Structure 1
Amino acid sequence: MLRYVTTNSGKVREAREYLDAVEQLNYDYTEIQAAELGPIAVRGAREAYRHAGEPVLVDDAGLFVEGFDGFPGPYSAFVEHTLGIETVQRLVAREIDAPRRASFRCVLAYCDGDAFDASPDPVDREDRAAAAAVGADDDADDADDPLPVKLFTGSVRGRIVEPRGDGGFGYDPIFEHDGTTFAEMSAEAKNAVSHRGRAFAKFASWYQER
């Protein structure tokens, strides 16, 4: 059984579009402060595996606004809970001229206590750039903590707009991709293009063939 470590049931529903055997593990792992998503996900996966004693999957994701120094980036969850997405949208609208480009990025970190074959280098230019941007261009196997973690990344480009739509969660109402906000999309349509969906597609392909 694969445990998806999250308190967000919406993420679990999205994950089950790719893998049936996913169960939610409601565990609050220590979320370190870091400038990139990769180290946060890696630390969480190691801690969650040691807690659960079975295969775990942890994700960290963020909204990165161009021209805003990537804000809120790895602090997206904190900013959402303290300022709210409407405040973020207003700040961006006030400080940045249209089209107010942004990207959603996600890192999935898988840990089951075993070593892995190294992931091949990404062949797609955008995949390479996305992996480097989140600090996840290599699988995590280091001297400080030898517990191996395998990483999968996904990203999607869009722009910040006034809130529209009632679906999704988090920043979905203010993130527009190809003319539609994530909150206006069906779950299936969002999963097909989202940062998390793209990361899960890579993970599911590897997980089912490992």
Structure 2
Amino acid sequence: MLRYVTTNEGKVAEAREYLDDVSALDFDYTEIQSDSLVDIAARGAREAHAHADEPVIVDDAGLFVDSLGGFPGPYSAYVEDTVGIEAVGRLAERERGNEEDGRAAFRCVIAYCDGEEFAASPDPVDRGDRVTAAATDLDEDEESGDEDADDGSSPSGPPVKLFEGVVRGRIVEPRGDGGFGYDPIFEHDGTTMAEMSTVEKNAISHRGRALAKFGEWYHER
């Protein structure tokens, strides 16, 4: 059994489109303060595995706006709750140049941990750089001493496998009554997420794209 650390049944339903045997795990892992989705998801997956002693996946996602230097990014939920999506849209409009045309992206990172060893995948997020080192608890000396350490292993815990999904679009005036969060101000191919049906949204979802990558790897594993 694979456990998806979430209380959102919609996420579990989406995951079941790519995975045969997955169920929700209600576990309040420590959500560290970080500018990287990788750091947050990887730490959460390792902590959830230690709690459940079963294979787990944790996701972290956010809206990254080009004109705001990637803000709100990992802080998307907090910013939505405190200032609202319309304020983010106005700020993006004020800060962007004409050449950027409101460009933005929804990003999601899926982190998997089962306590066993595994090799690194070719996914771009799974690489031996400072971001991955931070996610896997490697300190600066360890990182510089082993440039090939890209499998997520560390002395303080088991390896974590990382998979990223991205959907690109642009920030617009709010449109549509569906979806949730930033969906009304995020337009993809001329339609905001809030104007899409659930089927249409899931077909291009950043979480779905990350789950598809993970599902392919997991079935082979």
Question: How does the TM-score come out when normalised to structure 1?
Answer: 0.87
Aligned to 1:5: 5
Aligned to 1:100: 102
Q: 1:191 aligns with which of 175, 181, 202?
A: 202
Measure how far apart 1:161 and its partner are: 1.2
Aligned to 2:152: 140
> Cα 1:63–1:163, aligned 2, differ >3 Å: closer, same or farther?
same
Aligned to 2:167: 156
Contact 2:46 2:157 (C-alpha < 8 Å) held by counterparts: no
Say yes or no: does 1:112 pair with 2:114: yes
- RMSD of the TM alignment (CA)? 2.2
Q: 1:175 aligns with which of 169, 186, 192?
A: 186
For residue 86 of structure 1, give the secondary structure of its aligned residue in structure 2: helix
Measure how far apart 1:153 and its partner are: 0.8
Contact 2:105 2:168 (C-alpha < 8 Å) held by counterparts: yes
Matches within 5 A, 1:28-107: 28-97=28-97, 99-107=101-109
Which string of whole-angstrom CA distances, capped at 9 and with x for unpartnered residues, describes residues 22-54 of structure 1? 211122111001121101101000111111111
> Cα 1:134–1:170, aligned 2, differ >3 Å: closer, same or farther?
farther
Q: Give aligned-pair identity as a percent.
A: 67
> What is the number of equivalent residue pairs in this alignment?
202
Which residue identity does 1:93 align to in structure 2? Answer: E
> Whose radius of gyration is greater, 1 or 2?
2
Runs of at least 5 residues in structure 2 that lack an aligned partner in the other structure: 134-149
Structure 2 Cα separation of the partners of residues 9 and 88 of structure 1: 27
Question: How does the TM-score come out when normalised to structure 2?
Answer: 0.83
Which string of whole-angstrom CA distances, capped at 9 and with x for unpartnered residues, describes residues 113-163 of structure 1? 1111221x24xxxxx4x66799459442123x2311111111111001122
Contact 1:64 1:70 (C-alpha < 8 Å) held by counterparts: yes
